[in-house]
Amino acid sequence: MRTSNHLIGLLNFLTFLLSIVILGGGIWLSSRANSTDCLKFLQWPLIVIGASIMVVSLAGFAGACYRNTFLMWLYLFVMFFIIAALIGFIIFAYAVTDKGSGRPVLNKGYLEYYLQDYSGWLKDRVVDESYWAKISSCIRDSKVCSKTGRTFNGVPETYDMFSMRKLSPIESGCCKPPTECGYVYVNETLWNSGSGLAATNLDCSRWSNDQQMLCYQCDSCKAGVLGSLKKSWRKVSVINIVVLILLVIFYVIGCAAFRNNKKIDNDEPYGEARMTKTQPSRIHL
């Protein structure tokens, strides 16, 4: 009996630790949202799931310590739905980030991003005018583009040096004009118009050297946000898959221990002996 309780208590402690990992993933997404992605609604599913696991694990731990069958049953019951929700979140995260990726550019270290490469719910959410106004304002306020500037021994980097950089999706899509537009490099966020403007790409006319504008209204910027989100969500999803596998293992073991607990409770109540008679019955002739 005590061994089963100890096992359930240990499992609840481990799931409590896993909840911290999930909460950490949500907080990491939140910090990314404040600096680059600027889509604060995306981290809430993780935070809610992590907080739920934390509360339920504490309830299960208390149930194991105090031999409270109801709390232990509640822990297993709610944990089943949490596992289902985590599975749903992982499937959703992969589904909405399934399409789209950066395209390589000849003789460039960075990738370029095109909105037409993306589709689905996440794209519709990002390109929505009311939403994009908030996202672009957030990117502008984060000063991510102004942070792309580099100097070497007090001298700004050359175009060749800039071309070999591994830019983030946000930096590539929002902080410079598309390469095909033929703009002439002055510095990382200042480009003069050249003779090779691509008439088929509307972003070429949307680019502005105004540091408050740059390419924040470009489709490439929206695609860069989507590319950044895909990277962030895929990293978190890998952690979630590992956590899910561990939760399922703990849940199965917890169910077995709980059944064993109930069986012992039904067969031999704790602190009482099976034999209730202290003397054998006398045989009357």
Domain assignment present for residue 20? The answer is: yes
Is the predicted pLDDT of residue 285 greater than 90, yes or no?
Answer: no
Residue 209: pLDDT band by 50, 70, 90 thresholds? very high
* Mean per-residue pLDDT of the chain: 79
Residue-level pLDDT at 173: 95
Residue-level pLDDT at 23: 76
Contacts of 30 (CB under 8 A, 6+ apart): 40, 43, 47
- pLDDT tens for each residue of 105-155: 999 999 999 999 998 888 998 899 988 988 898 888 888 999 998 888 888
Residue-level pLDDT at 189: 93
Domain assignment present for residue 271? The answer is: no
Q: Mean pLDDT, to the nearest integer, of 201-205?
A: 89
Helix axes 219-267, 44-65, angle to 10 degrees: 10
Residue-level pLDDT at 42: 57
Residue-level pLDDT at 207: 94
- pLDDT tens for each residue of 236-279: 788 788 888 888 887 887 777 677 666 656 665 444 444 444 45
Residue-level pLDDT at 37: 47
Domain assignment present for residue 277? The answer is: no
Residue-level pLDDT at 43: 61
Q: Mean pLDDT, to the nearest integer, of 26-52?
A: 63
More confident residue, 177 or 73: 177
Calculate the alpha carbon distances from 89 to 43, 93, 119, 279 in Å.
Answer: 11, 6, 19, 63
What distance in Å separates the CA atoms of residue 172 and residue 4, rounded to the nearest whole number?
56
Domain count, the chain: 2
Is the predicted pLDDT of residue 54 greater than 70, yes or no?
Answer: yes
Residue-level pLDDT at 273: 42
Is the predicted pLDDT of residue 223 greater than 50, yes or no?
Answer: yes
Q: Verify that 204 and 109 share a domain, yes or no.
A: yes
Q: Mean pLDDT, to the nearest integer, of 39-55?
A: 70
Q: Verify that 40 and 132 share a domain, yes or no.
A: no
Q: Mean pLDDT, to the nearest integer, of 209-236?
A: 90
Q: Verify that 241 and 214 share a domain, yes or no.
A: no
Domain assignment present for residue 279? The answer is: no
Q: Verify that 91 and 110 share a domain, yes or no.
A: no
More confident residue, 35 or 205: 205
Residue 227: pLDDT band by 50, 70, 90 thresholds? very high
Residue-level pLDDT at 50: 77
Q: Verify that 160 and 206 share a domain, yes or no.
A: yes
Domain assignment present for residue 14? The answer is: yes
The answer to whether 250 and 56 are in contact (CB under 8 A) is no
| Residue 191, strand partner residues | 185
Calculate the alpha carbon distances from 185 to 18, 95, 158 in Å.
Answer: 48, 38, 9
Residue-level pLDDT at 197: 56
Residue-level pLDDT at 17: 79
Domain assignment present for residue 117? The answer is: yes
Structure tokens at 112: 């370029």
Q: Mean pLDDT, to the nearest integer, of 196-202?
A: 69
Is the predicted pLDDT of residue 64 greater than 80, yes or no?
Answer: no
Residues of the domain holding 89: 1-99+234-265
Contacts of 28 (CB under 8 A, 6+ apart): 236
Question: DSSP string spanning 209-253?
Answer: SSTTTTTTTSHHHHHHHHHHHHHHHHHHHHHHHHHHHHHHHHHHH
Q: Verify that 70 and 4 share a domain, yes or no.
A: yes
